[in-house]
């Protein structure tokens, strides 16, 4: 018995330590080429997908210019001049509707970021029936959801048909190729129930390129804003309320005498909650709303009571 224990002790003492990292990965846990491509597409494009909110609902959009140009659907913005845009980092911006293409259900929205944003490149290769496609959007409010499918058909008008699952909230989001490039903008589904039925549609890249050609700062275009855009040129001087606010709580610290804020009835100690019924969570969002030079309705908390204050610039 003692000999047996001695042998066991010797085996334990001389065993070579084996770390988990040194063990080979079983084939069952390895990703195949198709899965790696899907993951790469999502990681490349996801940060450039935004959610767009209006009083009518939630849609998606694709950042196509790192200065803040976003492509979405015309029916997502629903005739609004200003929409709320939330990026993948959680930042919220006030987005100006620059131009719309009602025929192709497209719209351009611009935000004013302080830094360059991730952007999705437009595809250079023509779409082909049978190729793999990837959709990212916000179905039923589930932000940044990825679905995968096949390009099933290209309609005579250029619209793309796919069996990638599209649902309410995917509208305005990108349809991508296997390089993570923009093939189209998702816009509709064919479904008697209102849910995904395996037949979804996207506007192809050609109308997107034509609409982008009419946006500001694009070379070779004299019309800096499309003729059907409801938004005037941005003024040179930035409008202001004449207040000093605490950046985190958005509480007013000071009101300048004779300012717009004083005339509107804002007081030190007021906490700003919303602007035009959009959640206000940064001074930048307030400033972007002011730059529209339109009357504002501020939701304000004062002495633990919430009220509305109308502001005319």
Active site residues: 75, 105, 171
CB 147 within 8 Å of CB 165: yes
Task: Please report which helix (H) or strand (E) contains residue 58, including its range.
Answer: strand 57-65
Q: Which two tokens stand for residue 58?
A: 């939630």
DSSP helix/strand/coil, 62: strand
Going along 139-205, which residue ranges are E strands? 145-154, 160-162, 174-176, 182-189, 200-204
CB 82 within 8 Å of CB 95: yes
DSSP helix/strand/coil, 238: coil
CB 29 within 8 Å of CB 16: no
Q: Rounded to an integer, what distance in angstroms lies between the CA atom of residue 27 and that of residue 164? A: 28
């Amino acid at each position: 018995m003692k000999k047996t224990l001695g042998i066991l002790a010797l085996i334990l003492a001389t065993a070579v330590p084996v770390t988990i990292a040194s063990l080979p990965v079983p084939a069952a846990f390895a990703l195949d080429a198709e899965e790696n491509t899907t993951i790469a597409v999502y990681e490349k494009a996801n940060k450039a997908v935004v959610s767009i909110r209006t009083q009518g609902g939630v849609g998606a959009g694709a950042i196509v210019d790192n200065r803040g140009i976003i492509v979405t659907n015309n029916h997502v913005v629903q005739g609004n001049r200003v929409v709320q845009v939330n990026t993948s980092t959680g930042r919220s911006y006030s987005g100006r509707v620059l131009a719309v293409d009602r025929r192709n259900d497209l719209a351009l929205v611009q935000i004013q970021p302080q830094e360059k944003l991730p952007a999705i490149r437009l595809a250079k290769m023509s779409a082909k029936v049978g190729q793999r496609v990837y959709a990212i959007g916000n179905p039923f409010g589930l932000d940044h959801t990825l679905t995968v499918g096949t390009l099933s058909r290209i309609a005579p008008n250029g619209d793309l048909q796919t069996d990638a699952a599209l649902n309410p909230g995917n509208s305005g989001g990108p349809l991508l190729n296997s390089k993570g490039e923009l093939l189209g903008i998702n816009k509709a589904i064919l479904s008697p129930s209102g849910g995904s039925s395996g037949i979804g549609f996207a506007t192809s890249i050609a109308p997107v390129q034509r609409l982008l050609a009419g946006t500001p700062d694009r070379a070779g275009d004299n019309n800096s804003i499309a003729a059907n855009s409801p938004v005037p040129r941005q003024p040179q001087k930035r409008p202001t309320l004449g207040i000093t606010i605490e950046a985190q709580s958005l509480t007013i610290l000071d009101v300048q005498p004779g300012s717009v804020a004083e005339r509107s009835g804002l007081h030190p100690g007021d906490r700003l909650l919303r602007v035009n019924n959009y959640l206000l969570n940064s001074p930048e969002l307030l400033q972007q709303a002011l730059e529209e030079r339109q009357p504002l309705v501020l939701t304000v908390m004062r002495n633990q009571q919430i009220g509305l204050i109308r502001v005319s610039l």
